[in-house]
């Protein structure tokens, strides 16, 4: 129940700025212009998707064997996704101001609006993807599971692992996040990337110990 309320709150916060932009534009202009219509439609769509996710989103559970022991489990951090959405909001506000408060050609606020939407939806899509992703390490395998409209599972048996590496950028170091890359050979199908996980070092250590 707490998780549902939390997801609903996030849905309202995500869709809220578009309702604010749309309603503010409608009050100022007193007519349903393209910017107002686009903002309201996007707000409604985001709210509908958010409500659906709030009640239906369930991180996939790995089917473990009777003799299999789970050693570590992680879900991707939501911080990068939320940060992208927040970065996109100022562009949308500026686009609204340029559209309503100035007389410059519409092409300029439209370009700013597109940039803001690109950043915002990059974050929104990443948020949805992270919400439905689970990484699991057992004594037999390393797994990545994604389930939203479909189920996609990728796993590597411990006996076939040939390399384990950690990757962290500057901001990931600051926020204690990172990516653990498990490979059993050459090629994307033989790699499991545990991306944007919090405190990745213990996960990598567990994998290394399983190879010892």
C-alpha gyration radius of the chain: 21
pLDDT in tens, 96-119: 888 777 788 888 888 998 998 898
Q: List the 177-183 sheet strands across, edge first.
A: 163-167, 177-183, 191-198
Query: What are the angstrom distances between the C-alpha of 101 and each of 6, 67, 107?
Result: 36, 66, 14
Query: What is the number of structural domains in the chain?
Result: 1
What pLDDT is recorded for position 60?
A: 61
DSSP string, 7-31: HHHHHHHHHHHHHHHHHHHHHHHSS
152 φ, ψ to 5°? -130, 120
Residue 17: inside a domain: no
Residue 42: inside a domain: no
- Residue range of the domain that includes 117: 58-211
Q: Confidence class of residue 19 from pLDDT cuts 50, 70 and 90?
A: confident
Residue 51: inside a domain: no
Q: Is the pTM of this model over 0.85?
A: no
pLDDT exceeds 70 at position 44: yes
Q: What is the mean pLDDT of the chain?
A: 81
Residue 38: inside a domain: no
Residue 1: inside a domain: no
Residue 8: inside a domain: no
DSSP string, 173-206: HHTTEEEEEEESSSSGGGEEEEEEEES-HHHHHH
pLDDT in tens, 124-164: 888 888 888 889 988 888 889 887 777 788 888 888 888 88
pLDDT exceeds 60 at position 58: no
What would the mean pLDDT of 74-85 be, rounded to a whole number? 86
What would the mean pLDDT of 77-84 be, rounded to a whole number? 86
Assigned token pair, 84: 């992208």
Residue 76: inside a domain: yes
CATH number for position 98: 2.30.29
CA distance 75 to 47: 23
72 contacts 202 by C-beta, under 8 angstroms? yes
What pLDDT is recorded for position 1?
A: 60
What pLDDT is recorded for position 135?
A: 92
Residue 9: inside a domain: no
């Amino acid at each position: 129940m707490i998780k549902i309320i939390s997801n609903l709150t996030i849905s309202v916060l995500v869709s809220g700025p578009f309702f604010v932009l749309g309603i503010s534009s409608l009050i100022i202009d007193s007519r349903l212009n393209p910017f107002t219509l686009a903002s309201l439609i996007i707000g409604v769509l985001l709210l509908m998707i958010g409500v659906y996710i709030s009640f239906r989103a369930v991180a996939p559970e790995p089917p473990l064997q009777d003799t299999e022991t789970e050693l570590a489990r992680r879900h991707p951090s939501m911080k990068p996704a939320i940060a992208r959405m927040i970065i996109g909001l100022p562009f949308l506000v500026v686009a609204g101001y340029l559209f309503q408060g100035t007389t410059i050609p519409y092409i300029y606020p439209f370009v700013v609006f597109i940039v803001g939407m690109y950043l915002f939806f990059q974050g929104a899509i990443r948020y949805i993807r992270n919400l439905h992703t689970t990484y699991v390490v057992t004594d037999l395998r390393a797994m990545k599971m994604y389930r939203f409209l479909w189920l996609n599972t990728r796993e590597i048996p411990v006996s076939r692992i040939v390399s384990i590496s950690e990757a962290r950028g500057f901001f990931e170091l600051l926020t204690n996040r990172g990516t653990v890359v498990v490979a059993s050979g050459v090629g994307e199908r033989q790699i499991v990337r545990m991306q944007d996980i919090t405190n990745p070092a213990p996960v990598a250590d567990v994998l290394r110990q399983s190879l010892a």
